[in-house]
Amino acid sequence: MSAHPGLAEIERARAALMGRVRQTPARPSPGLARRLGAPVVLKHEHEQITGAFKLRGATNALANLTDAERARGVVTVSTGNHGRALAHAAREAGVRCVVAMSRLVPANKRDAIAALGAEIAIHGASQDEAQGEVDRRVAEERLVEIPPFDHPDVIAGQGTLGLEILDDVPDVAQVLIPLSGGGLAAGVAAAVKARRPRARVVGISMERGAAMHASLAAGRPVLVEEAQSLADSLGGGIGLENRHTLAMLRDLMDEVVLLTEDEIAAGMAFCHVAEGVVVEGGGAVGPAAILAGRIRPIGPTVALLTGANVDPAQHARIVSDPAILERLAR
C-alpha cells in the first residue's frame, strides 16, 4: 500500500461502508446557480447519521482494525463531530470506545457522546491535558487511537463522498469543500481528480485560525491561534507531525478561500431560507463562498453541506437576523 490513500483505498472504503452510512442526496440549487452563473448542486451530507460526514472515516477506520485491535477498543479526544461519529461507529461494530475530554467541555456535549454508548474520560482543563489521557490509555490499556483526519483509513472513508459526487454529477467541474485538518478535502480530491483530473478542488475555511491555509503557504505545519468562529467544526490545528493531509493537499488542492464571520452567517441563513435545511457554520461555507462572490463560474459546481450539529439558539438567532437576511436579498 502506498503512503497516502488513493482511488483503490477509497473504492475499498466504499464497499466497507455499504449499509453502514447513508448515501446522501444531491440536489440542484437554482438560487446559487443564479448567483454563480453556472449549475450548482448541493450534496446534503449534513443528513448523514450523527449529523456529519465524519461517520464515513470513523466507520472505515474501524472496519480496517485487526481482530486483536477491535478487542482492545478505540480512543479519541474529539468532543465534536468526530467524537460523535467514532462513538456511533464503535457501538455499531461492537467495539469499546473511550472519548477523553477536559472538564471544561459543556455537559450537553458530554451527554450527547455518552448517549451514543462511549465511555467518557474527564481529564484536565484543556484539550492538551485530555490528549494526555488518550496517550496514557494507549500506553496502559493498549486502546487504538483513531484521529479525526490525519489517518489513511479516515481519509479514504471521507473520500467515498468524492465517488458519490462523481455518480451524482458526472460532468462536475469544481468541488467546494469545507476545510479544517483536511481529511475530507484530501479524500474527496483524491477520488475526484483520479477520475476527472481537470476538475478544480477549492477548500473553504474561516479567516480566523485557518491552520491548513497557513500551513500550505508555509510549506510545513504551522500553529495558528484558535479563535471563536461560527465555523467551530473548522477550528483546531493540523498537527505539527502531520503525515498525510498537508502533503496530499499540496498536490491536489487548487485554491483555498477564507471567509469572514458575516459571510459564514449568510451561508447558514441561505441554507435555511432558500434550501429549507439546518446546516452548521462549518457546513455552510460552500454556499457562503458563492454568495460572497468568491467562486469562479467555470462549470457544474458541487458544494458539500458537511454538518448539521449547531446550537439551536445560535441557529435561530442567525436565521432571523434582519442584517443577515438583507445580505441574501441582493
Which of 63, 146, 184, 249 forms a contact with ligand PLP (CB under 6 A)?
184
Which of 159, 183, 209, 287 forms a contact with ligand PLP (CB under 6 A)?
183
R_g of the chain computed on alpha carbons: 19
Interface with ligand PLP includes 180 (CB under 6 A)?
yes
Interface with ligand PLP includes 208 (CB under 6 A)?
no
Interface with ligand PLP includes 306 (CB under 6 A)?
yes
State residue 307 phi and psi, 5-degree precision.
-160, 155
Interface with ligand PLP includes 160 (CB under 6 A)?
no
HSE value, Cβ hemisphere, 13 Å, CA-based, for 220: 2
Which of 179, 256, 269, 291 forms a contact with ligand PLP (CB under 6 A)?
179
To which residue does cell 476545510 refer? 179
CB 269 within 8 A of CB 295: no
Q: Binding residues for ligand PLP, how many (CB under 6 A)?
A: 19
Q: Which is nearer to ligand PLP, 73 or 80 (CB)?
A: 80
Interface with ligand PLP includes 287 (CB under 6 A)?
no
- Ranges of beta strands (E only) in the chain are 26-28, 40-44, 74-76, 97-101, 119-122, 144-145, 174-178, 200-206, 255-259, 301-305
HSE value, Cβ hemisphere, 13 Å, CA-based, for 199: 24
Q: Which residues pair with 291 in a beta bridge?
A: none
Q: Which is nearer to ligand PLP, 38 or 49 (CB)?
A: 49
* Those residues with Cβ within 8 angstroms of residue 103's Cβ, 6 or more apart along the chain or in another chain: 122, 123, 124, 125
Q: Which is nearer to ligand PLP, 6 or 183 (CB)?
A: 183
Instruction: Please state the closest distance from residue 309 (CB atom) to ligand PLP, in A.
Output: 7
Interface with ligand PLP includes 307 (CB under 6 A)?
yes
* Those residues with Cβ within 8 angstroms of residue 116's Cβ, 6 or more apart along the chain or in another chain: 50, 84, 87, 88, 91
Interface with ligand PLP includes 159 (CB under 6 A)?
no
Which of 5, 157, 159, 181 forms a contact with ligand PLP (CB under 6 A)?
181
Name the segment binding ligand PLP (CB under 6 A); options: 97-105, 106-114, 118-126, 176-184. Answer: 176-184
Beta strand pairing call for 26-28 and 40-44: antiparallel
How far apart CA 174 and CA 196 sit, in angstroms, is: 10
- Per-position b or e across 17-55, b if 16+ CB within 10 A of its CB: beebbeebebeebebbbebbebbbbbbbbbebbbbbbbb
Interaction mask 84-123, ligand PLP, x per CB under 6 A: ----------------------------------------
Which of 81, 102, 215, 242 forms a contact with ligand PLP (CB under 6 A)?
81
Name the segment binding ligand PLP (CB under 6 A); options: 4-12, 260-268, 277-285, 288-296. Answer: 277-285
Interface with ligand PLP includes 50 (CB under 6 A)?
no
User: What residue ranges bind ligand PLP (CB under 6 A)?
Assistant: 52, 54, 81, 149, 178-185, 233-234, 280, 282-283, 306-307
